[in-house]
């Protein structure tokens, strides 16, 4: 099974990167840029092809998606190669070490792969392990529906093959479906492979490019960024825990936000510089290069939106703040008052669009999602300052380092703008944490479902360069202390180093390494404090089906396989989802009725949930069940099981008493399978012999 996992990882890497690299090299991008931006092209390409196939009645699978996109990429590459040869504009051959940022790129990959191995792969226990969490039932079911129906369109996502679907961000499910289609692996293994690829390569490569553009390729802070993008519990690690809603779609969207951040900086750089830094080859025109980057920029926005709209708005916060900075700094020929007026007009324009989108009918179910306040005034401040990962804990030392980075940015004129997107997100997150559901909260944080977990993830991403700035400042300060530099001279030296390339001595490097290790593994005896080492121990437990918080044990998973082999996957089974049976379809293909933990307003489902045990005497219940072709009822827990209390209160036992109160002697039911406290009953409809 582990071999299959690594084969799946390798295959998804090929699917995500090869077509994109070929296409972007054809457009004239450097190899490093083509490598980083490749998933943006393939995400959009696969998604659009799946939508087109759905409209014209063609089947989506790994061949029908990968082959045409690879052909398009190969054609683009050959055309670009021909044009460069025709114009005698070959890119000079260079070794890997001659490329800008090659050493730091390697460091990002090594650190990310090592960290993902320690914090995601090793705690799995088995390659197809999964954590019983709220949204995972949905994320597990969608790839199976894709495979069964051949319809992979993000515009028609459903949990029930044959039923009409609707839009749902499903890039994560599409990636998993590509693996399943090619290798016929379990759904959960494909999901793990997808998470591993985006955590260990896609996200760190985007952060590498962004950090390099912010600090410079030879700057110490760019190298520190390799560690900083893996240190925050709030992202990506928080989104994999049992207690969080397991936000895989949002996770994929945030993973490609840094790519779009770097692209926006690329697209706006020519405003300032006389010679465009976008030229990939000596004879490539400035306009052609800018045009190519602009196209890729909009491809990036589309990729984020397809991955998850909340992630798109996370990026919008960066764009609002960065464009405001650009407008102010790059209109230096105007008076200060006019420059301020331009920025104010930009912010007012953004505010109007924000309000209009917030009030749009198609956004109402999202922005009005109710989450209660999580803290009072000071508690909200503490959570943000301490880099809170809501379901993992706080990181005191890392919060201190980020605070140092915030102060350091005030002295660093070139990078002071990093504070703007960070503080804007902090403002929205703070009021979302302390505010009760209402119009104010919906207006501020509605695009993230008013959900503090998504917002804290966004803060973590924007805090990563600040953490690098903070670590560098601490290292510089340690050097100056060792040299016994006077206070006034020390401040000048710090500012000078921060404004220019931050070169750090061996002492500063040692101090930084110690600080990073302390954050990662050394526990601090303070409330809710967490380390990545502690996170790894927690994930081992969560992935273990025998652990106390797992409400689908290994015995129950085996029982589902027995059910599948006994009755096949055609018979419709009614179930109470919170006993773990919500996973039955995704895991075993069983035609279970309730495949989600969300409460339903469907009258038929609610009636059966409360009264299906009276099917022998209640004509309405019998009629509805027969109309739905329900043949069986499954129980994975005894009615008195305490395991149900482990789950969220939104799924109430009394709502499902019709399922829970069925016994072997209940009229209208015949026992088919029994093992421990698990039961499968066949329904005997009134009048049936």
Task: Give per-residue pLDDT as tens, 82-106.
Answer: 877 777 654 545 444 445 678 899 9
Query: Given the structure tokens 């709220």, which residue do they identify?
Result: 134
Are 583 and 140 in contact by the 8 Å Cβ rule? The answer is yes
Are 41 and 299 in contact by the 8 Å Cβ rule? The answer is yes
Considering the domain architecture, whether residues 427 and 564 belong to the same structural domain is answered as no
**Residues contacting residue 145 through CB under 8 Å, at least 6 positions apart:** 157, 158, 159, 160, 161
Considering the domain architecture, whether residues 564 and 441 belong to the same structural domain is answered as no
> What integer pLDDT is reported at residue 378 of this predicted model?
92
> What integer pLDDT is reported at residue 280 of this predicted model?
43
Q: Which of 388, 413, 448 is the last residue of a domain?
A: 448
> What integer pLDDT is reported at residue 490 of this predicted model?
63
Q: Is position 359 within any domain?
A: yes
Residue 644 above 70 pLDDT? Answer: no
Residue 65 above 50 pLDDT? Answer: yes
Residue 422 above 70 pLDDT? Answer: yes
Q: Which of these ranges, 8-12, 379-383, 533-537, has the smallest mean pLDDT?
A: 533-537
Q: Is position 260 within any domain?
A: yes
Considering the domain architecture, whether residues 424 and 563 belong to the same structural domain is answered as no
Here the tokens at position 667 are: 């009229």
Considering the domain architecture, whether residues 560 and 421 belong to the same structural domain is answered as no
> What integer pLDDT is reported at residue 97 of this predicted model?
42
On the question of a cis peptide bond just before residue 236, with omega within 30 degrees of 0, the verdict is yes
Q: Which of 398, 429, 448 is the last residue of a domain?
A: 448
> What integer pLDDT is reported at residue 205 of this predicted model?
96
Enclosing domain of residue 666: 554-683
Q: Is position 373 within any domain?
A: yes
Band the pLDDT of 492: cuts 50, 70, 90: low
Band the pLDDT of 134: cuts 50, 70, 90: confident
Compute the mean pLDDT over every residue in the chain, rounded to the nearest whole number.
87
Considering the domain architecture, whether residues 562 and 427 belong to the same structural domain is answered as no
Here the tokens at position 48 are: 């659009």
Mean pLDDT calculated for residue range 529-556:
86
For residue 483, the tally of other CB atoms under 10 A from its CB is: 12
d(CA 178, CA 27): 26
* Selection from 23, 22, 236, 241 nearest residue 112 by Cα: 236
Q: Is position 108 within any domain?
A: yes
Q: Phi/psi of residue 531, each to 5°? A: -130, 165
Mean pLDDT calculated for residue range 656-665:
89
Q: Is position 54 within any domain?
A: yes
Q: Which of the two residues, 285 and 113, has the higher pLDDT score?
A: 113
| pLDDT tens digits along 229-279 | 999 999 999 999 876 667 889 999 999 999 999 999 988 875 544 444 444
* Selection from 647, 384, 391 nearest residue 539 by Cα: 391
| pLDDT tens digits along 191-215 | 999 999 999 999 999 999 999 999 9
Q: Is position 469 within any domain?
A: no
Mean pLDDT calculated for residue range 214-219:
88
Mean pLDDT calculated for residue range 127-156:
91
Q: Which of 431, 448, 465 is the last residue of a domain?
A: 448
Considering the domain architecture, whether residues 577 and 440 belong to the same structural domain is answered as no
Residue 79 above 70 pLDDT? Answer: yes
**Residues contacting residue 33 through CB under 8 Å, at least 6 positions apart:** 24, 209, 280
Q: Which of these ranges, 168-177, 483-492, 610-619, has the smallest mean pLDDT?
A: 483-492
Quick one: what percent of the chain has pLDDT higher than 90? Answer: 59
Domains: count for the chain: 2
Q: Is position 560 within any domain?
A: yes
Q: What share of the chain is helix, strand, coil (3-state, %, to 5)?
A: 65, 5, 30
Considering the domain architecture, whether residues 437 and 580 belong to the same structural domain is answered as no
- Burial per residue of 433-466, b for 16 or more beta-carbon CB atoms within 10 angstroms, e otherwise: bbbeeeeebbbbbbbbbbbbbbbbbbbbbbbbbb
- Residues facing 675 on adjacent strands: 678
What is the CATH classification number for the domain harbouring 624?
3.40.50
Cα angle: 181, vertex 542, 529; to 5 degrees: 125
Mean pLDDT calculated for residue range 130-140:
85
For residue 94, the tally of other CB atoms under 10 A from its CB is: 10
- Burial per residue of 623-651, b for 16 or more beta-carbon CB atoms within 10 angstroms, e otherwise: ebbeeeebbbbbbbbebebebbeebeeeb
> What integer pLDDT is reported at residue 474 of this predicted model?
86
Considering the domain architecture, whether residues 105 and 246 belong to the same structural domain is answered as yes
Q: Which of the two residues, 428 and 93, has the higher pLDDT score?
A: 428
| pLDDT tens digits along 110-124 | 999 999 999 999 999
d(CA 38, CA 165): 29
Mean pLDDT calculated for residue range 469-480:
84
In a 3-state reduction of DSSP, which class is residue 262?
A: helix
Q: Decide: pTM greater than 0.75.
A: yes
d(CA 577, CA 671): 20
């Amino acid at each position: 099974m582990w071999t299959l996992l690594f084969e799946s990882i390798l295959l998804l890497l090929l699917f995500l990167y090869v077509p994109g690299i070929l296409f972007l090299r054809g457009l004239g991008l450097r190899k490093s840029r083509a490598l980083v931006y490749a998933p943006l092209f393939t995400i959009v390409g696969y998604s659009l092809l799946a939508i087109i196939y759905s409209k014209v009645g063609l089947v989506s699978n790994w061949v029908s998606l990968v082959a045409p996109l690879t052909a398009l990429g190969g054609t683009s590459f050959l055309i670009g190669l021909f044009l460069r040869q025709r114009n005698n504009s070959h890119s000079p051959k260079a070794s890997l070490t001659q490329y800008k940022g090659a050493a730091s790129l390697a460091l990002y990959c090594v650190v990310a792969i090592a960290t993902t191995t320690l914090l995601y792969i090793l705690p799995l226990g088995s390659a197809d392990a999964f954590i019983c969490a709220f949204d995972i039932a949905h994320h597990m079911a969608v790839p199976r529906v894709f495979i069964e129906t051949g319809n992979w369109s993000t515009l028609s996502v459903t949990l029930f093959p044959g039923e009409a679907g609707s839009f749902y961000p499903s890039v994560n499910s599409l990636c998993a479906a590509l693996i399943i289609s090619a290798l016929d692996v379990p759904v959960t293994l494909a999901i793990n492979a997808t998470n591993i690829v985006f955590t260990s390569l896609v996200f760190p490569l985007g952060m590498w490019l962004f950090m390099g553009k912010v600090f410079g390729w030879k700057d110490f802070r760019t190298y520190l960024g390799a560690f900083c993008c893996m240190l925050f519990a709030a992202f990506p690690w928080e989104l994999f825990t049992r207690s969080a809603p397991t936000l895989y779609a949002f996770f994929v969207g945030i993973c490609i936000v840094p790519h779009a951040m770097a692209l926006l900086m690329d697209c706006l750089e020519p405003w300032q510089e006389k010679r465009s830094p976008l030229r990939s080859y000596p004879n490539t025109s400035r306009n052609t290069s800018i045009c190519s980057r602009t196209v890729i920029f909009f491809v990036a926005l589309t990729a984020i939106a397809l991955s998850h709209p909340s992630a798109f708005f996370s990026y919008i916060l960066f764009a609002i703040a960065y464009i405001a900075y650009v407008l102010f700094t790059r209109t230096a020929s105007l008076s200060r008052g006019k420059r301020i007026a331009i920025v104010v007009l930009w912010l007012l324009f953004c505010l109007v669009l924000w309000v209009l989108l917030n009030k749009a009918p198609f956004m109402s179910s999202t922005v009005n999602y109710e989450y209660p306040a999580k803290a009072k005034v000071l508690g909200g401040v503490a959570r943000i300052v301490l880099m809170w990962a809501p379901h993992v804990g706080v990181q005191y030392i890392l919060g201190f380092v980020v605070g140092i980075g915030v102060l350091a940015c005030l002295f660093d004129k070139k990078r002071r703008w990093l504070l703007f997107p960070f503080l804007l997100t902090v403002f929205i997150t703070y009021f979302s944490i302390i505010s009760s559901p209402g119009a104010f909260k919906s207006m501020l944080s509605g695009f993230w479902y008013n959900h503090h977990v998504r917002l804290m993830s966004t803060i973590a991403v924007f805090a990563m360069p600040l953490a690098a700035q903070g670590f560098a400042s601490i290292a510089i300060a340690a050097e100056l202390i060792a040299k016994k530099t006077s206070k006034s001279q020390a401040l000048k030296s710090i500012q000078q180093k921060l404004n220019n390339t931050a070169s750090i001595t061996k002492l500063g490097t040692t101090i930084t390494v110690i600080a990073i290790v302390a954050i990662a593994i050394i526990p601090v005896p303070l409330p809710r404090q967490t380390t990545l080492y502690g996170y790894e121990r927690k994930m081992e437990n969560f992935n273990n089906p025998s652990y106390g918080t797992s409400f689908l044990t290994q015995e129950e998973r085996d029982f589902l396989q027995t059910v599948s082999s006994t009755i096949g996957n055609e018979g419709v089974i009614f179930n109470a989802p919170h006993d773990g049976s919500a996973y039955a379809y995704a895991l075993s293909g069983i035609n279970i009725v309730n495949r989600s933990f969300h409460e339903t307003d469907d009258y038929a489902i609610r009636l059966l949930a409360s009264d299906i045990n009276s099917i022998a005497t209640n004509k309405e219940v019998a009629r509805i069940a027969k109309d739905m072709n329900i043949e069986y009822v499954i129980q994975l827990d005894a009615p008195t099981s305490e395991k149900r209390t482990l789950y969220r209160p939104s799924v109430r036992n009394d709502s499902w008493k019709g399922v829970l109160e069925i016994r072997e002697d209940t009229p209208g039911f015949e026992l088919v399978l029994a093992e421990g406290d698990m039961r499968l009953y066949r329904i005997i409809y009134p009048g049936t012999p």
